[in-house]
Amino acid sequence: MALNKVSVDDINVSGKRVLCRCDFNVPLKEGKITDENRLVAALPTIKKLIADGGKVILCSHLGKPKGEPKPELSLAPVAARLTELLGQEVKFAADPEVVGPNAKAAVEGMKDGEVILLENTRYRVEETKNGEAFSKDLASLCDIFVNDAFGTAHRAHCSNVGVSELVDTAAVGYLMQKEIDFLGNAVENPVRPFVAILGGAKVADKLNVISNLLEKCDTLIIGGGMAYTFLKAQGNEIGKSLVDDSKLDYCKEMIAKAEKLGKKLLLPVDSATITEFPNPIDAPVDVEVYESDKMPADREGCDIGPKTAALFADAVKSAKTVVWNGPMGVFENPTLAEGTIAVAKALAETDATTIIGGGDSAAAVNQLGFGDKMSHISTGGGASLEFLEGKELPGVAAATNK
Ligand code: ATP
């Protein structure tokens, strides 16, 4: 799918001030970055802007400081790590108001090819409301804007949408392009058979995704906590498993829709069940496996069972395109991670294009050591889900058309 937006390859940034919105929303533990995938993913665009002689001003949000400075959510550790990753100084402009005296002075003194990083954009209360004052502040720093933050593309905030509207050129970066290429091609132009796998906790979170993917894919696999509402809708006892009783009719509709469209809809045929949810989540559990029509009322399904794992793995084997969002069970617990591992393995072994839709599924795949076996792991959970729903992403829409 060709993205009809001006990209970093179409602009000349030499000697210009370029504000580049990245997604540096990385997990931090006691000031240390525990997963730097998002930083690494941002490097190609940053390196391109440096090589072309731009004055590179980076910005991002980190966590949810809710419109005020929170020292534990400062981007200072990111500036330090980017300095190492780029092999050149990334100067940190530590203004609590993001665009303050430090940022202005730093930009003023920049030479071509230098890089600075602004403070957490969500220190500003306007950011998540797309308020004009902050968008104007950001726009005043730059001649050109580049948006490479796919992870926030489903939001209309100052640092992606607001600022885009106030500059002459708002281009998309390489990461944004890559994300849209992979997800867009998979959904709109897939090499078939196209298998979509959905899991995770709640049906309600993924209503539109289920409906949209049913239209696009050849086989839809549903596992994880959300499968039990489907199993109940089919008349099965699901014991204490996760359920959304308000969505039983919706599940019935989806089952009927699959049938009408001639699509395969695969649900768990067995489950790994427990009696008490583990607390802490990785505490030992006593697991018993039951087939889907034989679940006792006092059990809770917390992972797909071995027959289901084999069924799902088999469906993936002949696929040419696979999109996966949401774990198959409570993967945070080693005993309940087996289904998720089996599916990750099946994806790792197929020669299909395999796309992981971010969030918990990306964490699971990386944690289980299959990260480098996937064709693409999205950096945006929420954004990739909205994309799979078929929605237009405001962060992409705001970029300048070609
Ligand atoms: P994100 O929204 O961050 O992209 P995701 O879409 O990958 O994440 P979620 O819908 O957030 O996934 O669900 C992930 C959670 O679902 C995990 O914490 C996992 O423990 C839980 N989960 C999966 N299967 C079950 C189950 N059978 N019972 C209870 N919880 C489950």
* Span 248-260, pLDDT tens digits: 999 999 999 999 9
pLDDT at position 351: 94
Q: Tokens 């979170």, residue?
A: 205
Catalytic positions, please? Answer: 38, 202, 359, 382
Say how many Å lie between the CA of residue 217 and the centre of ligand 1: 22
How far, in Å, is the centroid of ligand 1 from the Cα of 60? 26
* Per-residue pLDDT tens digits for 140-193: 999 999 999 999 999 999 999 999 999 999 999 999 999 999 998 898 899 999
Q: Is the CB of 360 under 6 A from ligand 1?
A: yes
Protein residue closest via CA to atom 25 of ligand 1: 225
pLDDT in tens, 194-241: 999 999 998 898 988 999 999 999 999 999 999 999 999 999 999 999
Round to whole Å and give the CA distance between 357 and 354.
10
CA of 201 to the centre of ligand 1 (A): 4
Nearest CA, atom 3, ligand 1: 359
The pLDDT score that the predictor gives to residue 260 is 98
CA–CA separation, 101 and 294 (whole Å): 67
Confidence of residue 125 (pLDDT cuts 50, 70, 90): very high
Percent of the chain with pLDDT strictly greater than 70 = 100
| Cα–ligand 1 centroid distance for 244 (angstroms) | 14
For residue 10, which amino acid is it? D
With a 6 A CB cut-off, is 361 part of the ligand 1 pocket?
yes
CA distance 126 to 122: 8
Determine if ligand 1 sits within 6 Å of the CB of residue 200.
Answer: yes
Q: How many C-beta atoms surround the C-beta of residue 275 within 10 A?
A: 14
DSSP string, 116-134: EEE--GGGSTTGGGT-HHH
pLDDT value of residue 333: 95
Ligand 1 centroid–CA 327 distance in Å is: 6
pLDDT over 80 at 393, yes or no: yes
d(CA 38, CA 363): 12
- Please answer whether residues 47 and 58 qualify as being in contact, where contact means their C-beta atoms are separated by less than 8 angstroms: no
* pLDDT given at position 1: 58
Residue whose CB lies within 8 A of the most ligand 1 atoms, among 270, 360, 386, for a mutation test:
360
pLDDT-based confidence at residue 126 (cuts at 50, 70, 90): very high
Q: Name the strand (E) or helix (H) holding 22.
A: none
Q: Is the predicted pLDDT of residue 102 greater than 90, yes or no? A: yes
Provide the percentage of residues in the chain whose pLDDT is more than 90.
88
pLDDT, position 2? 65
| Distance of CA 184 from the midpoint of ligand 1 (Å) | 24
Is the minimum distance from the CB of 224 to ligand 1 under 6 angstroms? yes
DSSP 185-197: HHHHSPPSSEEEE
By CB neighbour count within 10 A (0-12 exposed, 13-18 middle, 19+ buried), where does 111 fall? exposed
Per-residue pLDDT of 45-85, as tens digits, reads: 999 999 999 999 999 999 999 999 999 999 999 999 999 99
Residue 41's pLDDT is 95
CA distance linking residue 241 with residue 330, whole number of Å: 12
Mean pLDDT computed over 110-130: 98
Shortest-distance Cα residue to atom 13 of ligand 1:
200
Distance of alpha carbon 242 from alpha carbon 24, whole angstroms:
33
Element (H, E) at 267: none
Nearest CA to ligand 1 atom 6: 326
The residue written with tokens 């918990």 in the block is: 360
- Stated length of the chain: 402
Instruction: Tell which atom from ligand 1 comes closest to the C-alpha of 331.
Output: 20
Given a cut of 90, whether residue 325 has pLDDT beyond it is: yes
Q: Ligand 1 atom closest to Cα of 360?
A: 7
Residue 363 has what pLDDT? 83
What is the reported pLDDT for 33? Answer: 95
Classified as helix, coil or strand, 31 is coil
pTM for the complete prediction?
Answer: 0.89
323: DSSP letter: E
